[in-house]
Amino acid sequence: METAADPEASGSVHDTAERKIIQLEIRWATVVFFCISLIMVAVILAGVVLHINPPSNIEFVDPKTLHLSGEFTETNLGTRVAPTGQITSRIVTTQFAFVPNCVVLPANRRVTLRFASPDVIHGILVTGTNVNTMVVPGYVSQVHTVFRTTGDLLMPCHEYCGLGHSQMTATVRVVPPEQFRPGPDGRATCADR
């Protein structure tokens, strides 16, 4: 606000007006401070308590050769338990399907989901969980989570990716840990059960 004093305009009328303006500014500053504090609390609560964080993984993959070699070839997709015990599901998001369109994972275990797209930007979420990420061509999207409930969870594409976007869904089948039985090669598919 203006602070330069006008020597001609002294007097109680001017003082009262100025005091009113200052009060109004303080009031609005308080409202803004309260709003920002509320947003900060919501962000911290979501991150620390609900474990909702932006994926921090930055990893490149060539979208043109995604299906030809490397991690995202067709035979390598789906759920696999590594010799180290790490459980990873690899999924390709493409216009307009998930490959595979069902993955099986155990509840109450730390699991990793890895996504890649050969065509356009997709977005995925697993309903009722903290899994939610964009899948951008050229990058691997990676999410770590622990599923607390069992059952078939819907995993839709939530980023408009073309005319078939609304048909683009998949299933994450979360089973009790004792029912999660990968084969000798470490692979587990929805067809197993």
Residues that bind ligand CUA (CB under 6 A): 93, 96, 122, 157, 159-161, 165, 168
Q: How far is the CB of 87 from ligand CUA (least distance, A)?
A: 25
Does residue 52 contact residue 46 with C-beta atoms inside 8 Å?
A: yes
Does residue 76 contact residue 61 with C-beta atoms inside 8 Å?
A: no
Based on CB atoms, which residue is closest to ligand CUA, 125 or 188? 125
**125's tokens:** 């979420």
Based on CB atoms, which residue is closest to ligand CUA, 18 or 119? 119
Distance, in Å, from the CA atom of 190 to the CA atom of 100, rounded to the nearest integer, reads 9
Q: How far is the CB of 161 from ligand CUA (least distance, A)?
A: 3
Based on CB atoms, which residue is closest to ligand CUA, 161 or 188? 161
Q: How far is the CB of 183 from ligand CUA (least distance, A)?
A: 30
Distance, in Å, from the CA atom of 26 to the CA atom of 35, rounded to the nearest integer, reads 14
Does residue 104 contact residue 79 with C-beta atoms inside 8 Å?
A: yes
Q: How far is the CB of 171 from ligand CUA (least distance, A)?
A: 15
Does residue 94 contact residue 118 with C-beta atoms inside 8 Å?
A: yes
Based on CB atoms, which residue is closest to ligand CUA, 92 or 153? 92
Query: Tell me, what amino acid is at 187?
Result: R
